[in-house]
């Protein structure tokens, strides 16, 4: 987790986004409570559906988070979990 200018927290995830990575991300999101957060998944080479379910749980009820790097399948899964993914071409933003 890195802090960018303007007090926005950026969480970059690389490699495989599995249950373990999703737990770390959920912990990072919880520790950034009250801050504007950007989750960058663009460097993830393998994204497990179970990780998306855990991400949805971490995002549930949270505002001020933008998630980038998801494909249509993952955006659809987030919608199934009740996370409004906005227009299909834009990143998930919970503002």
Q: In this predicted structure, what is the pLDDT of residue 86?
A: 54
**Rounded to 5°, angle at Cα 89 from 86 and 93:** 35
User: What value does the mean pLDDT of the chain take?
Assistant: 83
**Rounded to 5°, angle at Cα 36 from 30 and 38:** 85
Which backbone phi and psi does 82 adopt, to 5 degrees? 90, 10
Beta bridge partners of 10: 2, 38
Q: In this predicted structure, what is the pLDDT of residue 95?
A: 43
Residue ranges and CATH numbers for the domains of the chain are 2-94 (3.30.750.24)
Mean pLDDT to the nearest integer, 18-36: 90
> What are the structure tokens assigned to 18, written together?
């599995």
**What is the DSSP secondary structure assignment for residue 43, as one 8-state letter?**
E
Q: Which residue has the higher pLDDT, 2 or 20?
A: 20
């Amino acid at each position: 987790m890195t802090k960018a200018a303007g007090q926005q927290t950026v969480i970059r995830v690389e490699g495989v986004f599995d249950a373990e990575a999703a737990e770390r991300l959920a912990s990072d999101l919880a520790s950034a409570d009250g801050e504007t957060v950007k989750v960058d998944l663009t460097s993830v080479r393998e994204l497990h559906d179970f990780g998306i379910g855990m991400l949805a749980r971490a995002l549930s009820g949270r505002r001020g988070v933008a998630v980038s790097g998801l494909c249509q399948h993952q955006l659809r899964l987030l919608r199934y979990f009740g996370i409004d993914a906005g227009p299909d071409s834009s990143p998930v933003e919970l503002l």
